[in-house]
Chain A
Amino acid sequence: MDETRHRIRERAEQALKLLLSLTVTFMGLLAVTFFIGRVVPIDPVLAAVGDRASAESYAQARRELGLDRPLYQQFLIYASKALRGDFGKSVLTSNAVIDDIKRVFPATFELATLAALLGVLVGVPAGVAAAAKKGSWVDHGIRFVGLLGYSVPIFWLGLMGLLVFYAKLGIVAGPGRSDVLFEGLVPTVTGALLLDSALAGQWEAFRDAFAHIILPASILGVFSMAYISRMTRSFMLEQLQAEYVNTARIKGLSERTVVWRHALGNAWVPLVTVIALSYGNLLEGSILTEVVFAWPGLGSYITNSLMSADMNAVLGGTVMVGIVFIALNFITDILYKRLDPRAR
């Protein structure tokens, strides 16, 4: 009885600690974006009223924006608004920033998810093969390609991909998310065009969406492939040195079973966290990829707003990416504890 009570209390304490650290991190995120918003050399009042406003309307706008209050009050107002999802209005689109983000986020999500899938499907087998044939030319080759993937500037790779596969070979579609022909034809359910068109049974639109997404997703996937294959290799090397692998070999199991079932089975646990973290990096990589491919996602939204000094939109987008990052870290932590019996 006392035992269970003790455990419940321990669990509750853990949960509370986690919640507290999440809150602190989130407030820190807001504090950083608030600070960035304050050091902007552009006058936020001018941005709102325009430079031909009278002194009175300028002062009024300043009061309405809360800029005449002390800094800490401004931060509290900013934070409480942000918690309610209010990041102000975008000057560029004149919509609420949160609505804009809701509109563009699915495109980024779709792109990053496909890229992550490609990264896992190629990266994990490559890493396993490299570890199993350690020191061979397979290993060196995979390692070389991995380092190459780390070193290529993604925006340049995207341009070259467009040049070769779109302009010269013509096997993929050009920039953008779909042809004008299919615009607005597919009812929005999930926001991911591939899923939506498949759900609606519009295979023409699906093929078009696929032709558009495959190149940016592959380019974006190169980086996560490099990262995942490298981490897989190092986890696998660790496992392959373990005693149980020797035991399995001595038992007479085939090398394939030993490597792919026994060793990879154990390497999966840390690998899941690596994959989750690489997903966060994909969001980041997608910014430059989206710019190159005119992909109408969060990255394009942030950079377009940036060009027109639309700080509300830039900071709102930044907070959004930060939230996804924090959430991913959180999920990774929980996953790790679930999957690894030692961490329970």
Chain B
Amino acid sequence: MEASKTTLGAWLSSAAPESPWQAWCGDAWRSWLLFRRNPLAMAGLAIMLALVVLAAIGPLIAPADPLAQSLGLRLSPPGANGYILGSDELGRDILSRLLYGARISLSIVLMVAVAVAPVGLAIGTIAGYFGGPVDTVLMRITDIFLSFPRLVLALALASALGPGIENAVIAIAITAWPPYARIARAETISIRNSDFIAASRLQGASPLRIIATQVAPLCASSVIVRVTLDMAGIMLTAAGLGFLGLGAQPPSPEWGAMVAAGRRFVFDQWWVAAMPGLAICAVSLGFNFLGDGLRDVLDPKSGS
């Protein structure tokens, strides 16, 4: 056992990898070693893993139905009447609602990330590869969207589209793509004159084919890293929309909407608003720790 471990270690840290796969694994391994040394990043990873697990098994461990009301026991303080985190204004168990709400928050963040990364990647690589007027027009559009404050634009969009989770996702996605386009463009410009691009051009590949098969895969990693860094922001924007009543609609246990519902009782029954807020805080802190650690690992210049 010990022997196989050392050979695996040797294989991973080999200075002369024999295959691209080994080189890739070795890179990942070295990054992981760096990442592991950063306590905040590890804490972030732990929070994220916990969130994913809780979201996955939430229905199994939730003590109650998140929508089950018992008006007789409304606004019970934490610990009373069998409510670990208290109950809300309709006597629903806050802990169960938080567990179910984790799924909503995670899926919003994932949906935005999945929608935004390819769009930003496509716009950025096309602008960077073609240059000239195409670049000017696309980057102008990007700048226009960047000149909007994100939440305000998302607000206007969400209110135009009507409240609901899907519309909140669309609104956030439309406001979130410009930075990714910028990053993808910068990367594309740095590689577009490389020999391997010229080689595939000489082989007769069309520009779009080159972008899709050669350029985009190389830009993808920086875009993905940037998405990870942004996840806390996406989460907070979604919670903000929920708080304003533009995201998930009642009785859905979305965390931002739960804070909004608890607002009326905040002076007397603080837990109704406090608990979901703490959940938002913990998760976005996890995203931020993780992103910060990733940044340190991948860009040693900015780190500690």
Contact = CB atoms under 8 A, between A and B. Distances in A.
Q: Do they bind each other?
A: yes
A273 interface: no
B64 interface: no
Nearest to B284: A151
A321 B175 CA distance: 15
A309 B148 contact: no
A156 B153 CA distance: 21
B40 interface: yes
A287 B152 contact: yes
A151 B224 CA distance: 20
B12 interface: no
Contacts of A41: 160-162
B251 interface: no
A144 interface: yes
A318 B284 contact: no
A40 B167 CA distance: 12
A315 B160 CA distance: 10
Contacts of A287: 151-152, 155
Contacts of A303: 155, 244
Interface string A260-287: 0000000000000000000011011101
Among A40, A156, A309, A326, chain B packs the most CB atoms within 10 A around the CB of: A156
A283 B149 CA distance: 8
Contacts of B143: 25, 28
Interface stretch (B74-82, B96-104, B117-125, B272-280): B272-280
A314 B156 contact: yes
B292 interface: yes
Nearest to B171: A36
B140 interface: yes
B243 A163 contact: no
Given A36-B160, A321-B152, A28 B140 contact: yes
A37 B281 CA distance: 34
A154 B256 CA distance: 11
A330 B24 CA distance: 43
A135 interface: yes
Given A159-B263, A288-B240, A314-B156, A152 B281 contact: yes
A318 B281 contact: no
Interface string B109-140: 00000000000000000000000000000001
A163 B267 contact: yes
B246 to A, nearest CB: 8
B193 interface: no
Contacts of B246: 306
A64 B245 CA distance: 33
B234 interface: no
B94 to A, nearest CB: 14
A162 B244 CA distance: 18
Contact of A32 (B150, B153, B281, B289): B153
B245 A153 contact: no
Nearest to A321: B152
Interface in A131-164: 134-135, 139-140, 143-144, 147-148, 150-157, 159-160, 162-163
B259 interface: yes
Interface string A75-101: 000000000000000000000000000
B153 A291 contact: no
A150 B160 contact: no
B147 interface: yes
A32 B148 contact: yes
Interface in B197-230: none
Contacts of B243: 153, 155, 288, 291
A147 B155 contact: no
Interface string B5-22: 000000000000000000
Contacts of B161: 39, 41
Among A28, A153, A167, A314, chain B packs the most CB atoms within 10 A around the CB of: A153
Please list the 7 inter-chain residue pairs (A to B) with the smallest Cβ-Cβ separation, ordered nearest first.
A156-B277, A28-B144, A284-B149, A151-B285, A151-B284, A167-B267, A40-B160
Given A25-B143, A33-B156, A41-B161, 11 more contacts: A28-B141, A39-B161, A147-B285, A155-B239, A156-B276, A156-B277, A159-B277, A167-B267, A288-B151, A318-B153, A321-B152
17 contacts: A24-B140, A29-B144, A29-B148, A36-B156, A40-B160, A135-B304, A147-B40, A150-B232, A151-B236, A151-B284, A155-B256, A155-B259, A160-B273, A163-B267, A302-B152, A307-B245, A322-B149
